[in-house]
Structures are given as structure tokens and as C-alpha cells.
């Protein structure tokens, strides 16, 4: 891609979701500990938030910690939680500057109390911002999200607040963590893996998938443009639906 003129000609997806992968392999390839990869990965998230919004992307969702990631070695989980604490602090400042509206999706109830408090403050402080809608998936699993939604639906049905005949794709979508957020148009996964790893199972039904060998800490604006160019080459039969 040469210059901004061509970027202007591209159809920019409204919502981009990213499975940021390869932090550990990236660090290892440099003879560094995995955590160094996570630190650089967090920096890449900040850069991409800014670049995505400049390009006209309205919603960006990143997979930061999955329900399965608790199974990693204790040291790594602790290091990730520490990094998350710092990241949430930085994110509050960045969000104020960029007018970003931040929402955390996933089961927050399993996170430490101080992390939940920081998330609450961040969501509250940024809720009316009119910039990028930035979703961070933390202790997120697509199956877990659906199970939580089904439980709440069954409770409401038993209590007589919802009639079984009234349950629809729309009403179920409205009790998922992503309520009010349009489904992703484009999913990017970095570092050569070609699977969904329990991310946004319901929401990705018609999303275009893009895989790149680039490891997440090396993911730049140029790589994002490449993904959008590939998205523009697809024959989107289903994409231009709801709200467009």
C-alpha cells in the first residue's frame, strides 16, 4: 500500500476483532523471557488502538486473556495479571486523551478485587466517550459467555419474566457481554495459528477471517492495512447486513 490515498479508497471494517498471539514465541526468538513478549505486546495494543481509530475503525476488540489461560504456569499468570494492572492504569490516561470508550468482556467475577475495581473505574470514566469503542476480552471464553447467558435466560424464564416463545437470536444477543456492539466484520489472528480458541463464538458467525505469520509484538499499522486490504478483496455476501 502506497500513501494515504489508497487507504482512503478502502472499505474500512466497522468492527475489527484481534486474537493477539505469539508474544511468547516472539520473545523466545530474541532469547528473552516470555514476559518480555507480553510487555511489548501490551505496547502494540496501544499503538493499534490509535491507528485503528485514525483509519476509521469504530470498534476494536482484543483477546487479552482467555478462560483457558489460567492453565498456564502460575508465574506466567501472575506476570500477566501484573501487566494487566499497569495496563488498566495507562489505558485510563490514553482513553481520556483519545476519547476512547472502554468495555471489558468476559467473566470479571473471577478476577482479583483490585482488578475488578480498576475495570469498573475505567468503564465508568469512559462510558460517554465518542472515540473508538475498545473492548478488552479478559477471562473471556465464548462458550462460557453463552453458558452465562443461558443461565440468566433460564432464571428469567422460570421467574416468568421471559416467555420461551419470545427467545430469539436478537434477545440472546442482547444478554451476551457484547450487547449493543455490532458483530465483527474482520477477525485477525497473528503468529500463524489458524483457530478461534474460544473467542466470540456467537459473534463471529459471518466474520471474515485473516491470519498472518507476524507475531503480535511486531504487528504495526502497516500490518493492519494489509489485513484491511485482504478484507477488501473478499466477496462479502453476508457482511453488509445489520445497520448498513
- Could you say which of 19, 20, 21, 38 contacts Mg ion (CB under 5 A)? 21
Burial class (CB in 10 A: 0-12, 13-18, 19+), 48: buried
Could you tell me the strand order of the sheet in which 186-189 lies? 101-105, 133-140, 59-66, 15-19, 186-189, 208-211
Residue 132 burial (CB count, 10 A): 21
To the query of whether residue 69 is one of the catalytic residues in this protein, the response is yes
Q: Which of residues 74-103 bind ligand IPE (CB under 6 A)?
A: 80
How far apart are the C-alpha atoms of 2 and 14, rounded to whole Å? Answer: 22
Q: Which of residues 26-85 bind Mg ion (CB under 5 A)?
A: none
Nearer to ligand IPE, 98 or 135 (CB): 135
Measured from the CB of residue 188, what is the shortest distance to ligand IPE in angstroms? 11
Catalytic residue, chosen from 21, 177, 183, 185, is: 21
- Could you say which of 64, 91, 181, 186 contacts ligand IPE (CB under 6 A)? 64
How far apart are the C-alpha atoms of 138 and 15, rounded to whole Å? Answer: 18
Q: Which of residues 112-141 bind ligand IPE (CB under 6 A)?
A: none
Nearer to Mg ion, 59 or 211 (CB): 211
**Hey, which residues are catalytic here?**
21, 69
Amino acid at each position: 500500500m502506497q500513501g494515504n490515498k489508497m487507504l482512503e479508497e478502502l472499505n474500512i471494517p466497522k468492527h475489527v476483532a484481534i486474537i493477539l498471539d505469539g508474544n511468547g514465541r516472539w520473545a523466545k526468538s530474541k532469547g528473552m523471557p516470555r514476559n518480555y513478549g507480553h510487555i511489548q505486546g501490551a505496547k502494540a495494543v496501544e499503538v493499534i488502538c490509535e491507528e485503528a481509530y485514525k483509519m476509521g475503525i469504530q470498534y476494536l476488540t482484543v483477546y487479552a486473556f482467555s478462560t483457558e489461560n489460567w492453565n498456564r504456569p502460575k508465574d506466567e499468570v501472575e506476570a500477566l495479571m501484573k501487566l494487566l494492572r499497569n495496563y488498566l492504569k495507562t489505558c485510563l490516561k490514553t482513553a481520556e486523551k483519545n476519547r476512547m470508550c472502554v468495555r471489558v468482556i468476559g467473566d470479571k467475577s473471577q478476577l482479583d478485587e483490585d482488578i475488578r475495581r480498576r475495570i469498573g473505574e475505567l468503564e465508568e470514566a469512559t462510558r460517554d466517550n465518542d472515540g473508538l469503542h475498545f473492548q478488552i476480552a479478559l477471562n473471556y471464553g465464548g462458550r462460557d459467555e453463552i453458558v452465562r447467558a443461558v443461565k440468566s435466560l433460564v432464571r428469567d424464564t422460570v421467574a416468568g419474566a421471559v416467555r420461551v416463545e419470545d427467545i430469539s437470536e436478537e434477545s440472546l444477543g442482547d444478554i451476551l457481554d457484547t450487547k449493543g456492539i455490532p458483530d465483527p466484520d474482520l477477525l485477525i489472528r497473528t503468529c500463524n495459528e489458524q483457530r478461534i480458541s474460544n473467542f466470540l463464538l456467537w459473534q463471529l458467525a459471518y466474520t471474515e477471517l485473516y491470519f498472518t505469520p507476524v507475531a503480535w509484538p511486531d504487528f504495526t499499522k502497516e500490518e493492519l492495512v494489509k489485513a484491511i486490504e485482504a478484507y477488501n478483496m473478499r466477496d462479502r455476501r453476508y457482511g453488509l447486513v445489520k445497520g448498513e
